[in-house]
Amino acid sequence: MPQALEFDRGLPMTVDDFMAAMCQRRPAFLGLSRHYAGAIGEALERVGLQDKRKRRMGALSGGERQRVLLAQGLIPAPQLLVLDEPMSALDEAGIQVFERLLNDWRRAGITVLWIEHDLDAVGRLADRVTGLNRRVLFDATPKAALTPDRLLTLFSTHPRSLAP
């Protein structure tokens, strides 16, 4: 999932159209299959956007578009999710949705790899933290990873090696 979705806001594409284009493996002119209509409805409900299915993507707020991207990542049920700052454009309600989904994914055994610069969120939500700055500097639990010394090394211009 990208940080933000860039597209022509004048494009007359509804949330349903967008979800179908991303999830369905048949030509758009054939319409939405019953299977995908149900799956899209469930995914949008999980992110709190079930009432926005017929709205144009261009009319949604940035946070709502991020939630559509989260919903798109639920179809089909993933084994691995790669997310680039998924909370960056979310409002408070969207952050709560993301945190709930993250807990659901954890319980389901789904691996989530996400890039995040909000260290409070990392400390609160992550099981493991890997610090990267030109190379892997550390890989540890949030408590062990988010120490002043490790953060200084992580965000410095010339990172030094850290013992695990």
Q: Give the DSSP letter string of 97-132.
A: HHHHHHHHHHHTT-EEEEE---HHHHHHH-S-EEEE
Q: What percent of the chain has pLDDT over 90?
A: 46
Q: What percent of the chain has pLDDT over 70?
A: 89
The two three-digit tokens of residue 78, written as one number? 């993933």
The answer to whether residue 143 scores a pLDDT higher than 60 is: yes
The answer to whether residue 1 scores a pLDDT higher than 60 is: no
Tell me which amino acid residue 3 is. Answer: Q
**What pLDDT is recorded for position 107?**
93
**What pLDDT is recorded for position 157?**
66
**What pLDDT is recorded for position 8?**
66
The answer to whether residue 2 scores a pLDDT higher than 60 is: no
C-alpha distances (whole Å) from 95 to each of 12, 25, 66, 105, 121 are 28, 30, 10, 15, 10
* Cα gap 23→20, rounded to integer Å: 5
**What pLDDT is recorded for position 6?**
66
Residue range 48-101, pLDDT digits in tens = 999 999 999 999 988 898 899 889 888 888 899 998 888 887 888 889 999 999
Could you tell me the domains of the chain?
15-127 (3.40.50.300)
The answer to whether residue 125 scores a pLDDT higher than 90 is: yes
